[in-house]
C-alpha cells in the first residue's frame, strides 16, 4: 500500500508544488509521506523512490519554498 | 491439548511474554492479547504482507518489519506502539482511503468494516492527501454477489481464499502498481465466470464492502472471515473449531 498509493500521492504533491500552487502544508505532508513510504514499503521501489525527494528537500529546501507563493506563506505563518 | 512447542521469551512494548518458537510475531501478539492493526493478514491463509499496517520495530533496528511475516526469536524486543509507528499506520490508512472511493455513509458494510475499524484504531479522522476518486464500474453480474472495486483495498484475501481453500482461483490481481485491480477469470464479468463455484468465501473474508450479497442495503452486510481458520483447522486436524471461540 505505501508504495502503490504513496508514490502516486508524492507525485501529486510534487506536481502541485512544482506548478506554483503548493501551500506550506503540502511541503510538510510531502516530507512525512516520504518517510512513511520509505520505512514501511514492502518492495524495493517503495523503499528507495522517496530518497531523491528527501534529498532534494534537504539540500534544495529553499527552492521548494520559493515555489510556494508568499501570500499563502503569510496565511500559514499567521 | 497442551501445546508442546518450545517456548521463547519475547517482550512486547517492554512487557515480557512467552511465545512459541517458530510462530509469527502477529500470531503471538493475537494469542497474548497484544493489539497490532492489520488488514491483509487472515489466519488460515498464506501470507501476503502487503497492507503494511502491522509493521513493528524490533529493538533499535531502523528497518520496520511486518509482524505477520516476522518469526519470533529468543529475547526479541518488539515495539508495537511508538509515536513513529502510529504516524506511519495512520498515513497508510489515509492512503487507502484516498486511493479508492470509501464513502462509509452509503456502504453496505458501514459499521462492520475492517477498514473503518482501522481508521478508528489509528485515529484517522481526516485525509491529508488528495482523493484520487477513481471511476470504477461495479460488477453486479453475479446472481448472488456484487463486487464494487471502488471499495476494494487489494488485500488479496479473496484471491488467496479462492485459490487455497476453495481451489477455484477465480480471482486475481491484474496490472501493476497504481493500475492494479481485482479481476475474475482474466477480466470477465463475475457472473460469466465458469470456474466460480458460488461458494461465497471471497465475500465472507472481504474486510470492506467491496464484496457483498446482492440486495443488501447500507450497513446490512456482515462478513465472516473466521470461516477460513475453521476450514483450515478442519482440513489439517480433522476437527471443527467452535465459531464462538475463533471470534
pLDDT digits (tens, 9 = 90+) for A5-28: 999 999 999 999 888 888 888 898
DSSP letter at A71 equals H
List the single residue in B with minimal CA-CA distance to A2: B92
Q: How far is A63 from chain B (nearest CA, A)?
A: 22
Helices A2-18/A24-40 angle, 10° precision: 150
Cβ of A39 within 8 Å of Cβ of B129? The answer is no
Flag if A5 and B128 touch (Cβ within 8 Å).
no
Inter-residue contact B55 to B67 (CB < 8 Å)? yes
Q: How far apart are the first and last CA of chain A?
A: 35
Query: Which positions ≥6 away from B116 have C-beta within 8 Å?
Result: B104, B109, B110
Query: Crossing angle for the helix pair B83-99 and A24-40, nearest 10 degrees?
Result: 100
pLDDT single digits (tens) B83-117: 999 999 999 999 999 999 999 999 999 999 999 99
Interface touch B52/A9, C-beta < 8 Å: no
Q: Do A42 and B95 touch (CB under 8 A)?
A: no
For residue range B122-170, what is the model confidence (pLDDT) as tens digits? 999 999 999 999 999 999 999 999 999 999 999 999 999 999 999 999 9
Grid coordinates given for B197: 463455484
Closest Cβ opposite residue B50 in set A6, A7, A42: A42
Confidence tier at A74 by pLDDT (50, 70, 90): low
Give the dihedral of Cα atoms B110, B170, B156, B73; nearest 10 deg.
130
Residues of chain B contacting A28 with CB distance shorter than 8 Å = none
**The dihedral sign for the CA sequence B60, B62, B68, B74:** negative
Span B12-32, average pLDDT:
94
Q: How many CB atoms lie within 10 A of CB B104?
A: 18
* pLDDT tens-place string over residues B32-60: 999 999 999 999 999 999 999 999 999 98
As a whole number of angstroms, the distance between CA A41 and CA B52 comes to 7
List of chain B residues whose C-beta atoms are within 8 Å of the C-beta of residue A8: 99, 132, 178
Scanning the structure block, which residue is given the C-alpha cell 524495493? A44
ipTM over 0.90: no
Note the pLDDT of residue A69.
64
Tell me the β-bridge partners of B174. B181
pTM of the entire predicted model: 0.91
Mutating which of A40, A46, A49, A50 best tests the B interface, going by the most B Cβ atoms within 10 A? Answer: A40
Distance from CA of A40 to the nearest CA of B (A): 6
Q: Which among A1, A7, A8 has CB closest to B52? A: A1
- Chain A environment of B98 (Cβ under 8 Å): 5, 9
Q: How many CB pairs under 8 A join A and B?
A: 66
Question: Average pLDDT in the A53-70 region?
Answer: 86
| Residue B91 to residue A12, Cβ atoms within 8 A | no
Amino acid at each position: 500500500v505505501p508504495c502503490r498509493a504513496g508514490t502516486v500521492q508524492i507525485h501529486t504533491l510534487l506536481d502541485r508544488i512544482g506548478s506554483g500552487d503548493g501551500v506550506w502544508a503540502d511541503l510538510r505532508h510531502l516530507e512525512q509521506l516520504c518517510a512513511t513510504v520509505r520505512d514501511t514499503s514492502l518492495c524495493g521501489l517503495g523503499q528507495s523512490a522517496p530518497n531523491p525527494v528527501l534529498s532534494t528537500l534537504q539540500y534544495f529546501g529553499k527552492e521548494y519554498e520559493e515555489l510556494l507563493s508568499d501570500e499563502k506563506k503569510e496565511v500559514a505563518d499567521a | 491439548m497442551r501445546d508442546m512447542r518450545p517456548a521463547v521469551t519475547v517482550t512486547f512494548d517492554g512487557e515480557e511474554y512467552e511465545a512459541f518458537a517458530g510462530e509469527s510475531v502477529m500470531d503471538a501478539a493475537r494469542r497474548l492479547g497484544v493489539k497490532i492493526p492489520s488488514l491483509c493478514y487472515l489466519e488460515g491463509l498464506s501470507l501476503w504482507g502487503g497492507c503494511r499496517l502491522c509493521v513493528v520495530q524490533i529493538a533499535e533496528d531502523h528497518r520496520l518489519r511486518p509482524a505477520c511475516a516476522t518469526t519470533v526469536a529468543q529475547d526479541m524486543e518488539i515495539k508495537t506502539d511508538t509515536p513513529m509507528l502510529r504516524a506511519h499506520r495512520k498515513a497508510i490508512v489515509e492512503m487507502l482511503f484516498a486511493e479508492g472511493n470509501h464513502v462509509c455513509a452509503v456502504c453496505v458494510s458501514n459499521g462492520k468494516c475492517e477498514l473503518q475499524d482501522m481508521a478508528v484504531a489509528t485515529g484517522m479522522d481526516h485525509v491529508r492527501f488528495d482523493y484520487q476518486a477513481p471511476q470504477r464500474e461495479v460488477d453486479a453480474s453475479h446472481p448472488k454477489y456484487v463486487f464494487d472495486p471502488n471499495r476494494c483495498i487489494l488485500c488479496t484475501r479473496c484471491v488467496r481464499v479462492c485459490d487455497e481453500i476453495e481451489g477455484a482461483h477465480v480471482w486475481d490481481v491484474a496490472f501493476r502498481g497504481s493500475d492494479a485491480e481485482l479481476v475474475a477469470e482474466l477480466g470477465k464479468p463475475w457472473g460469466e465466470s465458469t470456474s466460480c463455484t458460488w461458494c461465497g468465501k471471497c465475500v465472507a473474508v472481504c474486510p470492506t464492502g467491496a464484496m457483498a450479497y446482492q440486495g443488501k442495503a447500507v450497513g446490512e452486510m456482515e462478513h465472516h472471515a473466521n470461516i477460513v481458520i475453521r476450514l483450515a483447522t478442519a482440513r489439517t486436524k480433522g476437527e471443527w473449531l467452535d465459531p464462538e471461540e475463533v471470534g
